[in-house]
Structure 1
Amino acid sequence: MYRDPKTFAFTFQSYVQLTLLQAHTCNITTPFKFLERSVFSARYCFVEKLKRDGFLSPPEFSVLDEWFRWICQQQKVAVDLFVYLRTDPEVVYERILKRDRTEERTVPFEYIKSLHEIHEDWLYHKTLYECPVPVFTIDANMDLSEITGEYKKFENQILEKNKIFIGV
């Protein structure tokens, strides 16, 4: 996908949308459902980025967008809260380099920076698309070993009234 986005963007995002729909709609036996990403972040951030960069043709974008709209109207993808782990793109990129995953080695910093700006506009500044639920923002620039402690500070607030948690 990163090496040849023009060829693989539509297929990849179609599959992402399917797997996220499956995650949203799977039955659970616990009182809370935690998802790392959502159909909303896939559409409003990742598909948006591919459209802006010209990696999705107008018809491809329309198909993904119409599927997203249908999913939102016809499927049980309701969420109660987004928890935005707000992280500077430089920190994200450094973490990618440290992980040293084969599939991430070709991810350019500019891609991370641009995705960050889209997330910021959607979740923080609220100037891009309507956010369907409240957003709880946590500063995630700290060392990874400290983030769990930071989350624990707010855990009761996050879980108190919510059954579905989406990290975006």
Structure 2
Amino acid sequence: MFLLHRCCVFNRMYNSQTQACIVHAFRQCESFDNLLQAFKPKPYRSTMAKRTISSNAAALNEDGNTRLKRVSIEGNIAVGKSTFSRLLRQTCQDWAVVSEPVSEWQNIDNGTSKETGASPQKTTFACMSRFKTQLQPPPACLLSSPGTPVQVYERSVYSDRYIFALNMYELGCINSTEWAVYQDYHSFLVEQFGHQVELEGIIYLKAPPEKCMERLKRRGRPEEKTVQLDYLYKLHEQHQRWLVDRSTEIHFDTLKKIPVLELDASVEFQTDAAVQENYMTQVRDFFQSL
């Protein structure tokens, strides 16, 4: 959380050139430790920005409208996002899926999961890695597709804030000052990167917490051994408030009325061909409606 505090102080105290350096440092860093070392004013020359601008230009129709659609898959821990992502990849070549950087998180504090870690530093790292993931340019084959290409992310910078960070605050894992600083910096980054991190839609995989716990135990990730059913219930409630009840306070206009496709993930769709076909039909219709 020291990092967030430092960045927000920069945001309030320094001019736009220094703020640009903050964004540049974030874009160039490969790890949390490198990010801490990078916050020193330097000329703003972002190669990622150039690549992203070029990619965005390639994703435009002749009338200037964006062809590339960006969608996130949201849902509880062990709800089936990875399995669903593999199904998307197998269904259509116009759908590119960006997986969560699980291997990076597994290396933090000897494997402590980013979803169960209660320290502000882990919250910060997860936030940074999600931003980095969403800022990666789409693959060239996707941009050259004659159809309507869709970039799909396993979770997003928005679930980082409105699910996990908010849940940590409500559980008392971070205090009100740390929560305020996190929100301030998160908003700053979203505003800086603008449409590059915007979403056109969300796929919500919904399953009872008990089913998620069953799948969590079955996959047996070492970093998830300490996850309790009560914690999964809290995350389930956060998803319901955000994506179903729409009662979570949202701070970005494009996110307030974003289309959501809710799918029943309580069934074992990994091996049920009929359920898979039904899912993909709904997904295809959803993508076409965006």
TM-score (norm 2): 0.52
The one-letter amino acid paired with 1:153 is: T
Q: Distance in 1 between matches of 2:184 and 2:208?
A: 32
Shift of 1:159: 2.2
Match of 1:27 in 2: 137
> In the alignment, which of 143, 152, 157 is matched to residue 268 of structure 2?
143
Match of 2:288 in 1: 160
Q: Any stretches of 5+ residues in structure 1 without a counterpart?
A: 163-168
TM-score (norm 1): 0.87
* Pairing 1:18–2:138 present: no
Q: Distance in 1 between matches of 2:220 and 2:268?
A: 17
* Pairing 1:117–2:200 present: no
Q: Distance in 2 between matches of 1:42 and 1:34?
A: 16
1:49-68 alignment runs, 5 A limit? 49-68=167-186
Q: Distance in 2 between matches of 1:22 and 1:88?
A: 30
Shift of 1:151: 2.1
> In the alignment, which of 211, 216, 223 is matched to residue 103 of structure 1?
223
Aligned length: 159
Shift of 1:153: 2.2
Shift of 1:111: 0.4
RMSD after superposition = 1.8
Q: Which moved more, 1:119-128 or 1:141-150?
A: 141-150
Residues 149 and 105 of structure 1: CA distance in aligned 2, closer, same or farther (over 3 Å): farther
User: Whose Rg is larger?
Assistant: 2
What per-residue deviation string (whole Å, max 9, x for no partner) do you get for residues 17-66 of structure 1?
11111111110131221111111111001111100010002221112111
- Alpha carbons 1:86, 1:141 under 8 Å: kept: yes
Q: Distance in 1 between matches of 2:186 and 2:205?
A: 24
- The DSSP-based 3-state class of the residue aligned with 1:71 is helix
Shift of 1:161: 4.5
The one-letter amino acid paired with 1:57 is: N
The one-letter amino acid paired with 1:125 is: D
Q: Distance in 2 between matches of 1:112 and 1:37?
A: 16
Residues 98 and 81 of structure 1: CA distance in aligned 2, closer, same or farther (over 3 Å): same
Using CA pairs below 8 Å that are at least 6 residues apart, which structure has the higher relative contact order? 1
Residue identity over aligned pairs, in percent, reads 24
Match of 2:57 in 1: none
The one-letter amino acid paired with 1:141 is: S
Q: Distance in 1 between matches of 2:267 and 2:184?
A: 38
What per-residue deviation string (whole Å, max 9, x for no partner) do you get for residues 101-137 of structure 1?
1111110110000100111011011111234311111
What per-residue deviation string (whole Å, max 9, x for no partner) do you get for residues 72-98 of structure 1?
211121100010011111111111011
